[in-house]
Structure 1
Amino acid sequence: MIGTDEMSSTGMDITESFRPEDLSKTDFFDFVTAPDMDIGIGVGVSLHPHNHSHERIPTAANISHDGGGGGGSSTDVRGNGGNSNSNLNNSNNGCSDPTLQSYETRNLINVCRHFSYEQGQRPTPNVREYFYYIDHEGMLFLDDAKIKNFTSCLKEKKFLKFFFNRVKLNNTKRYDTEFPYISPCGRELNYIRCDDVPIVYTEVKQNCEEGKDELLYAHAGDLLKVDFQPEKIYINPTTGRVYHPAWQKVGDIGLIRSKLAIELSKNFEFNNGEQMSPTHFNWRGKCYPLKNDWILGIKKYGIYA
């Protein structure tokens, strides 16, 4: 696979018991509670201490856009991403967002599953398998990288374009729970798990020639971009994370990274009250009523319209 010069040959074998005392205090920041087990169930758990990046979007509605689930040595792969809490209430009836319910259930199941892999393994003579991780900032890492930060992420833009153009939902029935996405390349299968979703929008850029705005993603500059649809920005009322539509084969949804979400948050209007979800979004002199019905059919949360 292009860009895999740093590929580790370390095997991943998940056989040890999960003990809450192995986790640092920071590990519990993004946990959800499992009362029946009397422990915190990690979302994107590592058994080694690591740092999280948590940022708050400073809006009247307490919109949050927290990080988590990214750093640390991957000796145990349990779950697909960080989950966080927000004080933002549901705009309709105060109930929790149904999209998150399925997400938490899926991660709860993942924690209990044990599996093993080795980078570059050959399940059949003609197939090689590699394993990757995408954090909440959209950075791509080898899944078993001991340190996951800007210095260790994959940065070559042509490789990122090649890799992300092939990302799709994993329907191979191999590692499909632990690694719900895949980027196939001929006889190489690149399995992907994420802190949230594989498509993370990092920057909005004006295309003056075509008279439109575009969202760049995956840190590949102008090589990877989609049209910006300001009326379809969605804030999850439970987590406070901000999303934008993507395309079908990746699950129809992309995450807006923390830094960009903070910049965009000043453009929201809350006509139903500051403790409710935003109703409008101001962009380049125009006020857009928000249209969030698209979120109901996304496959990422297991919900279909």
Structure 2
Amino acid sequence: MPVGHSVLKSSSAEQESSTETAVIQCFPLPHATIAFLLRTGMLKPALPNSTAAVSSFPQSVTDKVFLEFFFARLRPNTTGRYDEEFPYLSLCGRERNFVRCDDRPIVFLDLVQRAEISHWLLTFGFAQSSKLSVPFQPQHLYMNPNSGRIYHPTINFDDPEKNTVHESLVVGLMCSDLALRLADMFEWTQLNHADTGAPPDHFLWEQTVYKLSNALSPYIAST
């Protein structure tokens, strides 16, 4: 169950001339790798620097302030520039951070329960984030029966304001470690459905069996 990769435009010496923005070089960096390197201390946080070399960018990506800033401004790329190659972007002043991924631009990294709240949270960007998180909604989990990948809303899916989020950003992907942690909790009420390729219809969480809504299915099928 591979995790999606984001491609972020990092600062480099190869910048196009533009009065509107600096267009900068890009390279791939796996979400799981970012999380691992930050957790183990192999990369130290560093504030983003528009004149830094490409080789220093992984350090910028591990900076918590930068990640919160970046994901808060993530949106579909409607600029007309690189939109086929990079379907998403995050604006940083006059700079544009173009993004592509092999599945979803938002990848959930951990499922946590903090002392100050009663419900569980899914975090993204970096595992310990408090701002980059959404309430865990087990009834809206979706397992793709073809790939086995597990998805969850990036918003409170029962909130009527959810329509303010672009449909391409409504769905987040569970990272491999998190998907493995949850996989055994999915259930098929009719065992033959698993053999026919139907998605699971129930999910067991904290001694409660949730009937899965499959509400994410149209979003996944349409992208």
Q: TM-score, normalised by structure 1?
A: 0.54
Structure 2 residue 174 is the aligned partner of structure 1 residue 266: no
Shift of 1:168: 0.9
Residues 189, 265 of structure 1: CA spacing in aligned structure 2 closer, same or farther, 3 A cutoff?
Answer: same
2:14 aligned with 1:66: no
Give the deviation of 1:139 after TM superposition: 3.9
**Residue aligning to 2:126:** 219
Q: Are the aligned partners of 1:241 and 1:255 in contact in 2 as well (CA < 8 Å)?
A: yes
Change (3 A) 1:195 1:217: same
Q: Structure 1 residues 256, 138: CA separation in 2 closer, same or farther (over 3 Å shift)?
A: farther
Where 2:151 maps in the other structure, the secondary structure is strand
2:32 alignment partner, SS class: coil
Amino acid at match of 1:284: E
Shift of 1:259: 0.2
Q: How far apart are 1:268 and its partner, in Å?
A: 1.1
Change (3 A) 1:136 1:243: farther
Are the equivalent residues in 2 in contact too, given 1:138–1:199 (CA < 8 A)?
Answer: no
Match of 2:150 among 238, 242, 246: 242
- Is 2:88 the counterpart of 1:181? yes
CA deviation after TM superposition for structure 1 residue 256, in Å = 0.2
Letter in structure 2 aligned against 1:174: R
- Listed as ranges, the gaps of 5+ residues in structure 1 are 1-64, 71-79, 81-117
Distance 1:190 1:69 in 2: 15
- The superposition leaves residues 128-174 of structure 1 with CA deviations (integer Å, 9 ceiling, x where unpaired) of 1233545363849xxx979x9xx778211111111111111111111
1:284 and 2:202 correspond:
no
Write the distance in 1 (CA, Å) between the matches of 2:152 and 2:71.
Answer: 17
Match of 1:14 in 2: none
CA deviation profile, 1:12-54 (whole Å, cap 9, x unmatched)? xxxxxxxxxxxxxxxxxxxxxxxxxxxxxxxxxxxxxxxxxxx
- 1:99-114 to 2 correspondence within 5 Å? none
Aligned residues: 187
Report the identity percentage.
35
Amino acid aligned to 1:259:
D
TM-score (norm 2): 0.71
- CA gap of 1:290–1:138, structure 2 versus 1, over 3 A, is farther
- Is the alpha carbon distance of 1:215 and 1:133 closer, same or farther for their aligned partners in structure 2, counting shifts above 3 Å? same
Is the contact made by 1:128 and 1:187 (CA closer than 8 Å) also made in structure 2? yes
Query: What's 1:165 paired with?
Result: 72
Indicate how the Cα distance of structure 1 residues 271 and 227 shifts in structure 2: closer, same or farther if over 3 A, else same: same
Q: CA separation in 2, counterparts of 1:278 and 1:152?
A: 39
Structure 2: unaligned runs, 5 residues or longer = 36-52, 156-164
Give the CA deviation at 1:197: 1.1
